[in-house]
């Protein structure tokens, strides 16, 4: 036996539905309620299996009542019996937790069959409502397809613009990196020229001081010419040796600077390529 509560603010409607259901041997109307508040009290007292609920009622509408029944009395299944056949009302009723939705113009046989189906765990819509929902879904799907097509076109335009911006930015970044590389190379060249000038100045100064010292000794002392020549040659040889050592060190310094410049150039090129690959990966993935 399926125990039923009828909830409607119209007494005529309640009695008409009750008379239809009482003709069925497996259905029993155990309660009537004219509003949502009384319906909750009645459900708490008699615990019906199914509640037939109207949507438009004072004090508490059918949507709120359906939701409260689902929260407080999950064993009681709600079937909406309403005169509203619009899509919004059906969606709100289903969202509230209704297990069935019928129009008041539905035949008595459809009402009793729906109660049995819902009690077994099925979901049931009244005649014509499913077709109405399906037609609405098809229309929405058509609109969605059109919107997706527009979105795809916009996406293609956006990605083309993004690709152009990335290329422009990469080109600008490469130019900035190469400018920085050239700047560093020029700085290294300047440092090298300054070091070379300093080195030449020191060598010239030492040679001048040596000649001045030799001249002073010649003027102030009498000495053996051959011995002086030997000393001069020995000193010249020693200074030549020092000069060669200084030149060798300078060459090594120049070579090291050139290697550092080459390494710096390669590093900057690798950084530029890495940056370009990273930007390309972001764009692709």
Contacts of residue 21, Cβ cutoff 8 Å, sequence gap at least 6: 4, 6, 27, 28, 29, 111, 112, 115
Q: Is the domain of 94 the same as that of 58?
A: yes
Query: Last residue of some domain: 64, 92, 127?
Result: 127
Q: Are 81 and 54 in contact (CB under 8 A)?
A: yes
Q: Is the domain of 162 the same as that of 280?
A: yes
pLDDT at 111 over 60: yes
Q: Is the domain of 111 the same as that of 175?
A: no
Q: Is the domain of 107 the same as that of 168?
A: no
Element (H, E) at 191: helix 129-220
Q: Is the domain of 94 the same as that of 158?
A: no
pLDDT at 255: 76
Start-to-end C-alpha separation, the chain? 62
Query: Last residue of some domain: 92, 127, 162?
Result: 127
Q: Is the domain of 113 the same as that of 178?
A: no
Q: Is the domain of 168 the same as that of 48?
A: no
Distance from C-alpha of 198 to C-alpha of 201, rounded to nearest angstrom:
5
Q: Is the domain of 111 the same as that of 211?
A: no
Element (H, E) at 6: strand 2-7
Q: Among 82, 93, 78, 7, which residue's Cα sits nearest to residue 42?
A: 7
Q: Is the domain of 73 the same as that of 164?
A: no
Q: Is residue 177 part of a domain?
A: yes
Burial of 275 (0-12, 13-18, 19+ CB in 10 A): middle
Q: Is the domain of 117 the same as that of 222?
A: no
Q: Is the domain of 94 the same as that of 174?
A: no
The total of structural domains in the chain comes to 2
pLDDT at 283 over 80: no
Pick left, alpha or beta for residue 47 (phi over 0 → left; psi -120 to 50 → alpha; otherwise beta): left
CATH for 98: 3.40.50.2300
Tens digits of residue pLDDT in 113-166: 999 999 999 998 887 776 666 655 565 555 455 555 566 666 667 666 766 777
Q: What is the DSSP string of 24-88?
A: STTEEEEEEESSHHHHHHHHHHH--SEEEE-S--SSS-HHHHHHHHHHH-TTSEEEEEES---HH
Tens digits of residue pLDDT in 224-250: 556 666 777 777 778 777 777 777 777
Q: Is residue 135 part of a domain?
A: no
Q: Are 72 and 25 in contact (CB under 8 A)?
A: no
Distance from C-alpha of 62 to C-alpha of 35, rounded to nearest angstrom:
9
Provide the domain limits for residue 114: 2-127
pLDDT band at residue 62 using 50, 70 and 90 as cut-offs = very high
Distance from C-alpha of 182 to C-alpha of 256, rounded to nearest angstrom:
18
Q: Is residue 143 part of a domain?
A: no
pLDDT at 20: 94
pLDDT at 242: 78
Q: Are 33 and 39 in contact (CB under 8 A)?
A: yes
Q: Is the domain of 49 the same as that of 10?
A: yes
pLDDT at 150: 61
φ/ψ of residue 257, rounded to 5: -65, -40
Q: Is residue 51 part of a domain?
A: yes
112 versus 210: which is more confidently predicted? 112
pLDDT at 117: 93
Tens digits of residue pLDDT in 169-218: 777 777 777 777 778 777 777 777 777 777 777 777 777 777 777 777 76
């Amino acid at each position: 036996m399926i125990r039923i509560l009828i909830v409607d603010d119209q007494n005529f409607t309640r009695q008409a539905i009750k008379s239809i259901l009482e003709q069925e041997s497996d259905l029993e109307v155990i309660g009537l309620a004219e509003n949502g508040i009384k319906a909750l009290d009645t459900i708490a007292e008699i615990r019906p299996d199914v509640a037939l609920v109207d949507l438009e009622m004072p004090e508490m509408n059918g949507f709120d009542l359906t939701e409260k029944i689902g929260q407080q009395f999950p064993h009681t299944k709600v079937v909406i019996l309403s005169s509203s056949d619009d899509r919004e009302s059906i969606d709100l009723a289903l969202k509230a937790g209704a297990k069935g939705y019928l129009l008041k113009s539905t035949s008595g046989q459809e009402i009793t069959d729906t109660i049995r189906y819902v009690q077994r765990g099925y979901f049931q819509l009244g005649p014509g409502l499913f077709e109405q929902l399906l037609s609405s879904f098809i229309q929405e799907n058509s609109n969605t397809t059109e919107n997706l097509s527009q979105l795809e076109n916009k996406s293609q335009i956006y990605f083309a613009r993004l690709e152009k911006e990335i290329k422009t930015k990469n080109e600008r970044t490469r130019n900035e990196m190469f400018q920085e590389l050239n700047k560093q190379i020029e700085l290294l060249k300047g440092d090298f020229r300054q070091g070379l000038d300093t080195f030449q100045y020191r060598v010239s100064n030492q040679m001048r001081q040596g000649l001045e010292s030799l001249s002073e000794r010649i003027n102030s002392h009498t000495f053996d010419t051959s011995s002086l020549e030997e000393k001069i040659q020995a000193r010249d040889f020693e200074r030549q040796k020092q000069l060669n050592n200084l030149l060798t060190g300078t060459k090594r310094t120049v070579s090291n600077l050139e290697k550092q410049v080459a390494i710096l150039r390669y590093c900057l090129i690798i950084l530029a390529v890495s940056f370009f690959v990273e930007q390309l990966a972001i764009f692709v993935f």
